[in-house]
């Protein structure tokens, strides 16, 4: 039984429902356009997504958390909604009176209020009467074409909790202290660099600035917001910023600099420019450089570093990806990330992925962040993002940034600090690779690299 709902449409619905999978229960073209066939396959199943199709190409339907039955009664559902697809985008119409969200009628298919009925009266037709308990424009919903070519009902499958964690983490205060001390005492293997630079790259709203704020919060002892962070459809970061994390308010800088960039956007000519990225990686970009997506950096720009040293270059790249949006990543954005990854690969810079908002993506993790490595769904997302970005699974690190909290949480701290430790390991790989290259060079080239590696700042 093959779903008519495309993989992309399924992913879009799953993202709306905050991470689940869809399992096809009922397909009218196979089981019959009758209420009896629908109820035989779908009664007592929940939550469900019901989908109608017509000859005009519309894909529309509804969601309910309530199990179907043939009681003849209305059931209350404050989470119910109707929807339609406009291309790949889902338009949602929430229930306006939850008391009458769904009616359990024997002689019809899915029956949403008195507004939308699929397989109405056991016929291949849709009943549509907006304005009772749901508001929607009929022309937008189904194009006023009420003859159905197909009806499908999917059960929404929940996140599975694995018996054994797929990564081992010690969730104890002693571990948090150990990680903090390891970060404070870290020293790069080359004397010319005291603070390795890690470049944060990611889509708008994925949490790049929030990651810096969160790491800084751990060392400040309370939640801080030094970097501008928030939710917006366009990048809140418009300048190239380098942030040095301090050990406490008056403490000395820690051995890491996090570099924040303009967010990536799907459309061309918007968000971070790929040509600017090359300048950042090579160390040419001055602090507080104002990004201009339509005009990449020129060597004549104020503050442009014509001869950057090793300390000015990027030593590790971290892609910041929203876990709840991996499955619906737009093609244009995926192509941009692929182009960036190829460019970074050519320069021999190690790359990892910070998988943010894991609590928003998975209810199990929202309940307790310590479930992050017991969540079957988060493991699936890690595998998917690794595949999409072309990085090994060991390079994908789930984190939870501080966003609405006022106080620190030990378990969130452990994830954040573990991510920083992973960055240090990748930085060490970068410098080791430079040293290996130096070993195989001719004398003149070797002296030049030695100068960069070991000349103190």
Please name the residue that has the structure tokens 């290996």: 436
Alpha-helical runs (H) found in 227-361: 274-282, 331-346, 358-361
Domain extent listing, the chain: 7-157, 173-445
Per-residue pLDDT tens over the stretch 310-347 = 888 999 999 999 998 887 777 888 888 888 899 899 88
What's the pLDDT score for residue 12? 87
Q: pLDDT above 90 covers what percent of the chain?
A: 54
Per-residue pLDDT tens over the stretch 43-52 = 999 999 999 9
What's the pLDDT score for residue 235? 45
State the pLDDT confidence band at 126, using cuts at 50, 70 and 90: very high
Instruction: Tell me how crowded residue 406 is: count the other CB atoms within 10 A of its CB.
Output: 7
Q: How far apart are CA 251 and CA 326, in angstroms?
A: 37
Measured CA angle at 38 (ends 37, 40), to 5 deg: 65
Asked if 349 and 201 touch (Cβ cutoff 8 Å), the reply is: no
- 3 state SS of 310: helix
How much is the average pLDDT of 421-444? 82
What's the pLDDT score for residue 30? 97
Which tokens go with 217? 């919060």
What's the pLDDT score for residue 451? 54
Task: Give the architecture-level CATH label for domain 173-445.
Answer: 3-Layer(aba) Sandwich (3.40)
What's the pLDDT score for residue 135? 97
Beta-bridge mates of residue 161 = 375
- pTM of the predicted structure, to 2 decimals: 0.73
pLDDT score of 234 more than 50: no
Asked if 100 and 74 touch (Cβ cutoff 8 Å), the reply is: yes
How much is the average pLDDT of 52-69? 97
- The most confident of the ranges 3-17, 117-131, 197-211 is 117-131
Least confident of 143-157, 190-204, 321-335, 363-377: 321-335
Asked if 375 and 365 touch (Cβ cutoff 8 Å), the reply is: yes
State the pLDDT confidence band at 267, using cuts at 50, 70 and 90: low
State the pLDDT confidence band at 289, using cuts at 50, 70 and 90: low
Asked if 254 and 183 touch (Cβ cutoff 8 Å), the reply is: yes
Average model confidence (pLDDT) across the chain: 87
pLDDT score of 18 more than 70: no
What's the pLDDT score for residue 230? 47
């Amino acid at each position: 039984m093959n779903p008519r709902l495309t993989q992309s449409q399924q992913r879009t619905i799953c993202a709306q429902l905050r991470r689940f999978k869809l399992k096809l229960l009922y397909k009218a073209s196979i089981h019959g356009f009758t209420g009896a066939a629908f109820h035989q396959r779908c009664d007592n199943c929940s939550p469900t997504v019901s989908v109608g199709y017509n000859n005009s190409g519309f894909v529309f339907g509804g969601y309910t958390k309530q199990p179907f039955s043939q009681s003849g009664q209305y059931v209350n559902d404050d989470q119910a909604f109707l929807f339609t697809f406009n291309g790949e985008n889902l338009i949602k119409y929430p229930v306006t009176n939850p008391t009458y969200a769904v009616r359990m009628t024997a002689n019809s298919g899915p029956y949403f209020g008195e507004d939308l009925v699929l397989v109405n009266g056991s016929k291949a037709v849709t009943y549509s009467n907006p304005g009772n308990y749901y508001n929607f424009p009929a022309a937008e919903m189904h194009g006023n074409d009420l003859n159905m070519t197909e009806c499908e009902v999917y059960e929404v499958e929940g996140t599975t909790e694995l018996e054994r964690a797929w990564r081992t983490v010690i969730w104890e205060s002693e571990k948090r202290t150990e990680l903090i001390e390891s970060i404070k005492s870290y020293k790069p293997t080359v004397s010319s660099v005291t603070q390795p630079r890690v470049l944060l790259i990611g889509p708008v709203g994925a949490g790049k600035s929030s990651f810096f704020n969160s790491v800084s919060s751990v060392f400040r002892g309370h939640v801080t917001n030094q970097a501008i962070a928030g939710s917006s459809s366009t990048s809140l970061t418009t300048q190239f910023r380098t942030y040095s994390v301090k050990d406490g308010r008056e403490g000395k800088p820690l051995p890491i600099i996090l570099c924040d960039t303009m967010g990536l956007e799907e459309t061309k000519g918007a968000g971070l420019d790929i040509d600017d990225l090359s300048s950042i990686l090579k160390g040419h970009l001055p602090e507080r450089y104002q990004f201009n997506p339509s005009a990449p950096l020129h060597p004549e720009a104020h503050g442009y570093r014509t001869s950057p040293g090793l300390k000015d270059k990027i030593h590790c790249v971290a892609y910041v990806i929203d876990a709840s949006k991996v499955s619906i990543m737009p093609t244009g954005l995926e192509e941009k990330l692929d182009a960036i990854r190829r460019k970074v690969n050519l320069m021999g810079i190690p790359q990892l992925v910070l998988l943010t908002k894991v609590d928003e993506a998975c209810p199990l993790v929202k309940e307790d962040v310590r479930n992050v490595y017991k969540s079957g769904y988060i493991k699936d997302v890690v595998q998917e993002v690794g595949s999409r970005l072309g990085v090994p699974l060991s390079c994908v690190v789930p984190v939870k940034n501080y966003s609405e909290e006022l106080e620190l949480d030990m378990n969130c701290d452990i994830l954040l600090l573990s991510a920083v430790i992973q960055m240090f390991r990748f930085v060490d790989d970068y410098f080791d690779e430079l040293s290996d290259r130096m070993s195989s060079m001719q004398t003149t080239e070797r002296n030049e690299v030695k100068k960069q590696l070991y000349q103190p700042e």
